[in-house]
Structure 1
Amino acid sequence: MKEAKEFLDMIKEASYIAVVAHKDPDADSLGSASAIYSFCLQLHKKVSFVCVSEIQRHFFILPWVDRIKHSFGSEDLLIVCDAASWERVGLDKRGKVINIDHHITNKHYGDLNIIKDDAIATTEVVYDLFRELDVKINEKMATALYAGVVDDSDSFSSSKTDSATFALAKELIELGAKHKDVVKYLQKYSTLSHLRLLGAMLLDMRLLKDATIALFEVEYVKFKRYGADYEDAKEALERALELPTVKTSILILEKEDGSIKISLRSCEVDCASVAIRFGGGGHSERAGCEFGHDVSIQEAREKILEEVKRVEKKKR
């Protein structure tokens, strides 16, 4: 990987490094950042772990997550993991930026951009970097990298999963990745608030277009009522795709500030194409975007459904 040497040189030259996960992070963003945080510690660099959002409890299986702070200090190098655009970070940019990602929609906003859009997860991109640099991957790093693979492959069920994905998983487990803990906390961990929200969402789910589209709309008051958070809402998206007729699942949720967050899942519609239309991004099977507080849930629904229709028609 031609960027590996420049990546290492920038780390060595930096006085203070921030390893950054995107807002409302998943295990891929946190896992990538955690592994690079470990690497910086191996190099005896001054380093912080930053994410603007509060971290869900089940992610604390990942090393160093308990050290996360929510703002920058005097860092002169930012290593951003799994964020297709700087807006996904949610903080003001400073110093030099290394952008590491696997989204095809990445905007190449870094001074160094390490993008591999055929990778199953950003943790795979980080793993390849480490191998190129002959980094000794310890148990903490292996666990962090493995968590990203499990999460972004939907537990090895996504269409991008291939023999290379399983070979990577095998290598990471042999390096000490805690497979049982990762699966337990990422795939089988629930809270009472999560289960109550899931039940309410499935009860209110609407089926559209001959039951090929599952639509969820969640107002902020519902999150407050159940004590749940935004990530808790995403399971309903995946569960809806288990229905035999559903090909596309759409979540429209209202955040505390009145803005609207959209999440899309589909085995038929190019979700990234839909999200890009509204300034978002992601992958063909899963993507997301946001609308400002000047757009209502109803207006967001109309815009998203119209774009889904347009993308479907273009595909034909």
Structure 2
Amino acid sequence: MNDERKLGFFKLYFKNFRAMLLTNLFFAVPFILAAALVYFAAGLLHQTSNLWFMGTAIIIIYPFLSGVTQVTKEIVKTQGSNFKVFQTYKKGLKNNFLYFALYGVIIYAAAVISYYSIVTYYKMAAQSWLFYIPLFITILIALAILFISFSLPILTVTLELKLRYYFKNAALMAIGELPMNFYVMITTAALISGCLSVPVMTGNLVVGLIVLGVALFLILPTGISYCSMYRLYPKLEDIFDIKDKENDKSFPIMPVAVPTDENGEPIKGDSASDGEYVFAGGKMIKKSQAQAVEYIDESD
């Protein structure tokens, strides 16, 4: 992102509303198919009243959020300038589909376990105050998982790391960017609450449900992703020292000369013990250190 003042939250959103609308339409196709599939399966298994069974649709559609995340990242990074929506969405799917498929399973399982743990400890706390201790710990863990889910998709579409490093860095950002994570949580909750309150505000259930359906398909997917991307991506830039380059956004690791003495021999000691030096992300570091992080090629 350029050093000049970035556009405000709402100004950038409405400037790129068309791009977000198109992205939501792309995402609506797998969303509708997944919802129909799960609803059909729930009918066969007599589970239509089981919200957690119906929620398994999240596992199916979560991989397609990789495309949504890629688009919102491009909007925040470039301030909505010079990018093609469909190609960007497709690139997100191509590069990150399997990662997001795994995230969907993990996040769904974590949500189910957290919910039932909190409910169980809450009921047990009515009998003994000691159960408030595990209840409090469980709530903290649930919040940590939620905050990790904010930064994990952003890390995945921005950096090329080993899987464990995505989770490690997401966990670090969950703690290190705690105030910003709370801000994202409140903003996201306000957006969802606003959409869910539409049927009540309209005074007409049918009209309200129609408006809610439109909001669900055309606003929420990119809206939720944008809330976290706008606040956390600039933090990610600072942490990993990501700088835009006008013509080269791939940040290749370029080999440079190893320091030598006056006789042309490599300098001994810590400065040369890890092999040749490389130039990565604007810094000269040892090759062994550079292997941990490699930036994704942003070119089409």
TM range (shorter): under 0.3
The structure with more radius of gyration: 2
For normalisation by structure 2, the TM-score amounts to: 0.23
Determine which structure has the larger helix proportion and give its number: 2
Greater strand percent: which structure?
1
**Larger RCO, structure (CA 8 Å, separation 6 or more):** 2
TM-score by length of 1: 0.22
